[in-house]
Chain A
Amino acid sequence: MPDAPGLELIRGEIENDHPGAVLDTSFEHGRAVLVVDAAQVLATLAWLRDAPGHEYRFLSSMHAADYLPAAPRFGVHYELLNRNRVERLRVKAMLADPTEGADVEGVEDSLARSAPSTSASPTAGLPTIDSCVSLFPTAEFQEREAYDFFGIVFRGHPDLTRILMPEDYVGWPQRRDFPVGGEPVTFTYNERRYG
């Protein structure tokens, strides 16, 4: 695990090769995080994988998150691991929602937004980032999962389709503005509280 000064050193080294790639760093709970520019995430990951002395060759996890009230709404997280030194490094790319501010937000709006439109391509209006399958083949299924649940499009992915939800499912169910679903239960507690 690089400590806080070590993280700043890594940032400086990346800054030499890819100026502007690293936007921010954070070191919390013993976990080093590089916040990188989404446009340069592929270059940064390749640098971290191949640069001598770093060599984070193993992608132990790749996942997405939805930080809805925050301004760049989606986060794509890459958990890198150097297996010789047993050092872990998290790379985080923040993605803005392209449809943000276009309409009033709400449940119906979210559903309409995530429904596949017939006119444009099915990935129109979705946040986009480069796929890292060429660097880490293990990311293939994990990127499909992120696409399935959050509607994040990975440019250059060999087969970007739904992996867990049914193929004809409409919507991105793990987004925070997605309705939870299920059925309201008519407990007296709920009736008293919500009418």
Chain B
Amino acid sequence: MRARQLRARDMLRGDLDGEELERHVEEKLVMTNFEKLLNWGRANSCFPLTFGLACCAIEAPIAMVGSPRYDLARFGAEALRASPRQADLIILSGRVSIKMAPVVRRLYDQMLEPKWAISMGACSSSGGMFSNYAVVQGADKFMPIDLHVPGCPPRPEAVLYGFTKLQRKIMGNPDQGWRARYRAHGTEEWARGGPRSEPSAEAAEAYEATRELIRA
């Protein structure tokens, strides 16, 4: 320990050179760019909004995921913010009724950039079991959603897993490991009118084949 400190002092003084300096740089320094450093910081100090919509809020950071058993603090997101101005992340925990949708949208608009949104559970992702006049059929109809966590409600582990996925997304490295594992490339689905709204040739072919099977 003492030796290392001395070596660091020598380096700062400019007394290190040659092979010794090379080795010190290799061991002690990490080269990166500012963007990556910034995103690393953002991903590991995400402030979720104190916000709950329905029954999923029981599992959401407020009650379950933030509790010591699951401990969202391990991922740097334990600081819940009660003001959208201070929050980075909004978790839509539950069904969004058509009366609540403008409120949610307004909260999202009031959050400062950069901001992220997790749609938690079946209801806020697709309307869930509430296929009726009062509930918005998927929160991505009125606001951008970065990540959908399936489940009714999702287990706290699932929310945590979704949050770590979001961290990778923030750091610019969205994990798509399962596609490789299941050889499922070409099955990506995109929102209509999105940048890549055309399905891949394989997906279109598979869809047509399925339809023909059903018709027959």
Contacts and interface: CB of A to CB of B under 8 A. Distances in A.
Interface of A: 164-166, 169, 171, 173, 178-183, 185, 188, 191-192
Contact of B127 (A164, A178, A183): A183
B132 A192 contact: no
Contact of A166 (B99, B131, B132, B210): B99
Interface of B: 98-99, 127, 130-135, 137, 210-211, 214
Given A166-B99, A191-B214, A192-B214, A183 B137 contact: yes
B133 A179 contact: yes
A136 B188 CA distance: 59
Contacts of B214: 188, 191-192
B132 A182 contact: yes
Contact of B99 (A165, A173, A185): A165
B132 to A, nearest CB: 5
Contacts of A173: 133-134
A180 B133 contact: yes
Nearest to B135: A182
A63 B150 CA distance: 37
Contacts of B133: 171, 173, 178-182
B137 A182 contact: yes
Contacts of A182: 127, 130-133, 135, 137
A180 B131 contact: yes
Chain B interface mostly: loop
B132 A180 contact: yes
21 contacts: A165-B99, A166-B98, A166-B99, A169-B98, A171-B133, A173-B134, A178-B133, A179-B133, A180-B131, A180-B132, A181-B131, A181-B132, A181-B134, A182-B127, A182-B130, A182-B131, A182-B133, A182-B137, A183-B131, A188-B214, A191-B214
A168 to B, nearest CB: 10
> Which of A164, A179, A180, A182 has the most B CB atoms < 10 Å from its CB?
A182
A82 to B, nearest CB: 36
Nearest to B137: A183
A78 to B, nearest CB: 26
Nearest to B133: A181
A102 B179 CA distance: 58
A178 B132 CA distance: 11
A164 B99 CA distance: 9
A165 B134 contact: yes
A165 B137 CA distance: 16
Contacts of A179: 133
Contact of B131 (A164, A185, A192): A185
A185 to B, nearest CB: 7
Nearest to A171: B133
A81 B133 CA distance: 34
A114 to B, nearest CB: 12
Contacts of B134: 165, 173, 181
A165 to B, nearest CB: 7
Nearest to A189: B214
Given A164-B99, A173-B133, A180-B133, 12 more contacts: A165-B99, A166-B98, A178-B133, A180-B131, A181-B131, A182-B130, A182-B132, A182-B133, A183-B127, A188-B210, A191-B211, A192-B214
A46 to B, nearest CB: 36
Contacts of A166: 98-99
